[in-house]
Amino acid sequence: MSRMPQIIQLVVRPREEFELPWSGGYQIYSAILGIMRKCDEATARHTHDSPLSSISISNLEGKFRRSQRPKHKIAEPANRYNFAIGITDPKEMEIFRAIIQPLILREQDINLDKGALRVEESASSSASFEELVDSARNCANPFIEFDFRSPTCIQYKNSKVIEMFPHREAVFSSLLSKWNAVCPEGLRMAMERDEMARYLMEEPLSYETHSAMVNTVMDKVKGHPRPILKQGFQGMCRYMFTKDAPRDVRNGILALARFAEYSGVGSAVARGCGTVRVTVGEVER
């Protein structure tokens, strides 16, 4: 059976008005993991403990009211909000069922720190790795636009240095690593960073930097939790190929770009970082 990366789109409404951080992805992750534990403890443990980025979770999007508390916002029951869960783990069907069964079939709420969300609509889509590769072959003269919807935190190799710009090598090396970690053996890519640098160009369309809260840790001195932050970038960036880009490099990059909506880009993707929307178009001659 072909492995099928999945995306679950959820539309939710707060049970009551409540406050949450601007970067609240880690709260959604904790809530989803708690829901999974009650349904399938083994799958929840696999998702949390896996060295792979098993799932990616976007932040809540919608209309919020400004909070008097810095870096916080208020969700209101008059509004609906949406977020997405991408699943790329080889056990994607078990993870999918452990999320969908409680939320949709049993109508469980998503309980965040200060309020609950009820699911009003859901949709899912999937694509096999083979389909992602095949789709890349239909573009004659393509460009790629990434809309980095949440802070994207890419570490340079195994260092503590964070890439603070959507450089082509950083973005597509991150995606290549994610792809090769979960794809079928026969679809692994051997693309080099030099090929990404040599045959791709980036054109930032908008750009800013932010920090995102990805967890909390108890401060034993002050006696209350303190945030763990990651630095990253957001904005729009267009990637274009050079005229001499080899077909296999171009097709590989296009497949990775489409995979990005499932996997996210960079680290902490399960906690709301690295969410992207991708557009592939044709360059006008």
Tokens 């260092």 found at? 159
Between CA 80 and CA 87, with CA 82 as vertex, the angle to 5 degrees is: 155
- What residue type is 211 in one-letter code? S
Residue span(s) of the chain under CATH 3.30.70.1890 come to 6-126
pLDDT greater than 90 at residue 141: no
Q: What are phi and psi of 125, to 5 degrees?
A: -145, 160
The size of the chain, in residues, is: 285
Of the pLDDT bands very low, low, confident and very high (cuts 50, 70, 90), residue 224 is: low
> 3-state SS of 167-184?
CHHHHHHHHHHHHHHHCC
Tell the CATH topology of 6-126: Alpha-Beta Plaits (3.30.70)
pLDDT in tens, 166-181: 999 999 999 999 999 9
129-282 has which CATH code?
Answer: 3.30.70.1900
- What residue type is 167 in one-letter code? H
pLDDT in tens, 233-266: 999 999 999 999 999 999 999 999 999 999 999 9
| pTM for the predicted model, two decimal places | 0.92
30: which residues sit within 8 A by CB, 6+ positions away?
none
pLDDT greater than 80 at residue 226: no
pLDDT in tens, 19-48: 998 888 889 999 999 999 999 999 999 999
Do the beta carbons of residue 128 and residue 42 sit within 8 Å?
Answer: no
pLDDT greater than 90 at residue 102: yes
Cα separation, 165 vs 154, in Å, equals 9
pLDDT in the model for residue 216 = 67
Residue span(s) of the chain under CATH 3.30.70.1900 come to 129-282
Q: 3-class SS at 101?
A: helix
Of the candidate ranges 54-63, 70-79, 136-145, 181-190, the one whose mean pLDDT is the lowest: 136-145
The closest alpha carbon to 168, from 57, 250, 229, 283, belongs to 250
Task: Please count the CA atoms within 13 angstroms of the CA of 2 that sit on its side-chain side.
Answer: 12
DSSP assignment of 44-71 equals HHHHHH-SS--EEEPPPBS--EEPSSTT
pLDDT in tens, 55-71: 999 999 999 999 999 88
